[in-house]
Amino acid sequence: MGERLNLYNTLSRQVEPLETIEPGVVRMYVCGVTPYDNAHIGHAMSAIVFDMIRRYLEYLGYEVRHVVNFTDIDDKIIVRAQREGVAASELTERLIADWHEERAALGVLRATVYPQATLEIPAIVTMIEGLIEKGHAYAADGDVYFRVRTFKDYGKLSGRKVDDMVSGARIEIDERKEDPLDFALWKAAKPGEPTWPSPWSDGRPGWHIECSAMCSHHLDGQVDIHGGGTDLIFPHHENEIAQSEAFLGVQPFARYWLHNGMLQLGGDKMSKSIGNVIRVKDLIETGRTQAFRLMVLQSHYRAPLTFTEESLDAAMRGLERLITAARPVSARGSDTADAGMDAAVKTATETFHAAMRDDFNSPAAVASLFDLARNVNRARDLGAGADDIELGRAMLISLAGLLGLDLTATEKSAGDAAPFIDLLVEVRDRLRAEKQWALSDLIRDRLAEKGISIADAASGSTWQKN
């Protein structure tokens, strides 16, 4: 596995070396979307973060068993399905299919499995029965609740103390509960809601129990990495720990808890309830999904990220600089010119991997890509040999690929015209070699009118979108 990988554990609140349950295998569970509406770019950010983590773990040689769930039964799903006059399953199936397409457009690798809560009812019922048998849960008028105070470590993830917790907006107040802090494992159905049979009532599972059951079912109980947004730390992940460890009788349920920061729009947290969201579909239509991915990677995954059109434009310009440096060599150059490429590649590679092994420090890793890109462009300007330039650009493409960035592709800003621009630049190089200055200047000027600038060097010309 090479050198040690360190990662920040929300549970211990410190950076720890990765030690897996099974040698060479990482069991990773990431909380997915609740498909009651189209996914927004906050969902995209989280998907990109854990895709980056998964890609690097696989680079290190781990087999990653990656599980991403769909919470496909929920109050919001029921309300929207009733409003649209369709079955809840019809709504969720459509939105799940859309999300799979959107994840692919974002360059996110497919997970090993995508369990859906409604398809996991037997495993959920089995877990609830086990919790009741062990005294950690109780039935009340068709509902089932978890006894929070029977789990002595409750609050260890969020740092909250049970006695300090006050019933509030995120804690259900119900006279049937033995304690206001107890939370629902099973809910008896209301008229018109989808239902599944259980020993307690025809109803549906509570939100938290779904993930515990799916972890246990698909990842053999314990997991190495459990991920999600910081907004899930309490109560969702706190409740998952209580349920899972109480049921399994082992600790810890998850060895490492990784949480990505929240995405904000111009300083405001994204919220569908107040309408300040940008859908992933909208981002895809702009053709700037790779630019968005770069923008996410330029911020540490644990930090909040503010999205603005200006920040996306800046990421687009940065992406184009990387793509320009990664373009094939169009002229031979001089084999005697010393561009120091061997040293530049070595430094960039060492810096990149040191950053990624330090809690997936993607901003530092991306900075090493820009350093290498500058050295590649410098080599072109010096007229270095094709082999020297190829060494740098090949490593640039390879390292970027570990982050899910494809520098051999072009975004919509250049669009389908990119191959034709490449051809025009090649023709212009030949015209310059033949000293046909008027025609070469005509090509340069016409491209400039279209927002394409050309940089000339002894080893050939390169272009970029302004």
Question: Could you write out the three-class secondary structure of 103-166?
Answer: HHHCCCCCCCECCEHHHCHHHHHHHHHHHHHCCCEEEECCEEEECHHHCCCCCCCCCCCHHHCC
- At 368-385, the pLDDT tens digits run 999 999 999 999 888 888
Encode 9-21: b = buried (16+ Cβ within 10 Å), e = exposed. bbbeeeeeebebe
pLDDT of residue 367 exceeding 60: yes
- At 56-66, the pLDDT tens digits run 999 999 999 99
The DSSP bridge partners found for residue 138 are 145
Residue 167 pLDDT level (bands cut at 50, 70, 90): very low
pLDDT of residue 166 exceeding 90: no
pLDDT of residue 393 exceeding 60: yes
- The DSSP annotation for 213-238 comes to HHHHHHTTS-EEEEEEEGGGIIIIIH
Stated pTM of the model: 0.86
- What confidence score (pLDDT) does residue 334 get? 57
Report residue 71 as tokens: 């919470």
Q: Looking at residues 320-331, what average pLDDT do you find?
A: 87
**Are the C-beta atoms of residues 209 and 124 closer than 8 Å to each other?**
yes
- What confidence score (pLDDT) does residue 466 get? 64
**Are the C-beta atoms of residues 465 and 411 closer than 8 Å to each other?**
no
Pairing assessment for the beta strands 254-260 and 223-229 based on DSSP bridges: parallel
pLDDT of residue 155 exceeding 60: yes
The DSSP bridge partners found for residue 25 are 22, 63
pLDDT of residue 219 exceeding 70: yes
- At 281-322, the pLDDT tens digits run 999 999 999 999 999 999 999 999 999 999 999 999 999 999
